[in-house]
Amino acid sequence: MQERAAPEVTAFYEERTFSLQYVAADPATGQCAIIDPVLDFDEKSGATATRSADAILDFVAGRGLTVAWILDTHPHADHFSAAGYLRERTGAPTAIGEKVVEVQRLWKEIYNWPDFPADGSQWDRLFAEGERFHIGEIPARVLFSPGHTLASVTYCIGDAAFVHDTLFMPDGGTARADFPGGDAARLWHSIQEILSLPDETRLFTGHDYQPGGRPVRWQSTVAEQKAHNIHIARCRSCEEFVALRQARDRTLPMPRLILHALQVNMNGGRLPEPEANGRRYLKFPIDALSAAAWS
């Protein structure tokens, strides 16, 4: 196996939440990983759908690929994860970073769920920092990338790194660090580790908000980020970055789905169990995030 082998990466853009989902495939074996899949949700009606996940399944089937892993980079705050649904459809194991248990412990208190099992058992595999696995013949390893959340990881698969909310495209800057458990200084150090990868490493981000109305983009390189990222290129120290990041975060309202999504995503993408009437219900804590800016 070659450390710098190049997986074939296909992106799927979910425009309602500006989310990028990926299929990373080994062309030699047809094995692939699905990364950060979205379960469609309309908060106004409470309706869920599997259009985004089914589009990925159709692509996988059309290319004759076999799903080896379903990977989440962290418990998302702006969309539901389709990991549970895709596991049911493919039988492939789900995985996330092992620090997800810290997110679970934090949010079980916010949701007042004393009996919630905050042990990561909702996934088939919890990856430790530096742990190695493979996609077909392509080696992969896990970087612990906290800051945006307590549990964020980067998946380095061959010459590609899936950084999700740690770095956006260079004209989009970096992720916010003001969620419960977020930390701008930790985010700076996570970014520095990512940017210590070889300059030609392909970086795939998890969101694109299309600054200035430009077409959606999702791929850059380490070299491009170092030279042009609007937050990193202007900050020469962790202290400068923290000041910039915190000033920016104070102006941002919370994601519109954060209270919807965390209770699903810290449960491995599983929706709440139906109640006696057959319906499922989400739970909302009042004033738990009251310090955030209002939109």
Structural domain includes residue 212? yes
Q: How far apart are CA 264 and CA 38, in angstroms?
A: 12
Residue 249's φ and ψ, nearest 5 degrees, are -65, -30
Q: Going by C-beta distance under 8 Å and a sequence separation of 6 or more, which residues neighbour residue 168?
A: 174, 175, 205, 207, 208, 209
Neighbour-count burial of 45, counting CB atoms closer than 10 A to its CB (0-12 exposed, 13-18 middle, 19+ buried): exposed
Structural domain includes residue 210? yes
Q: How far apart are CA 176 and CA 198, in angstroms?
A: 25
Structural domain includes residue 290? no
Structural domain includes residue 285? no
Supply the pLDDT for residue 82. Answer: 98
Supply the pLDDT for residue 1. Answer: 46
Does this model's pTM top 0.85? My answer is: yes
Q: How many independent structural domains does the chain possess?
A: 1
Structural domain includes residue 270? no
Supply the pLDDT for residue 44. Answer: 96
**Is residue 73 within 8 Å of 35, Cβ to Cβ?**
yes
Domain range for residue 187?
8-262
Task: With a cut of 50, list the residues of the chain below it in pLDDT.
Answer: 1
Structural domain includes residue 164? yes
Q: In Å, what is the CA distance from 102 to each residue of 19, 234, 269?
A: 24, 32, 17
Supply the pLDDT for residue 3. Answer: 59
Q: How far apart are CA 128 and CA 132, in angstroms?
A: 9
DSSP class of 212: G
Report the chain's terminal Cα–Cα distance, integer Å: 49
Structural domain includes residue 234? yes
CA-based radius of gyration for the chain: 18
CATH number for position 45: 3.60.15.10
Supply the pLDDT for residue 292. Answer: 87
Residue with tokens 């980020």: 225
The full DSSP string for 138-175 is EEEEEEE--SSSSS-EEEEETTEEEEETSB--TTT-B-
Structural domain includes residue 241? yes
DSSP class of 91: -
Supply the pLDDT for residue 4. Answer: 77
How many contiguous H segments (helices) and E segments (strands) does the chain have?
7, 15
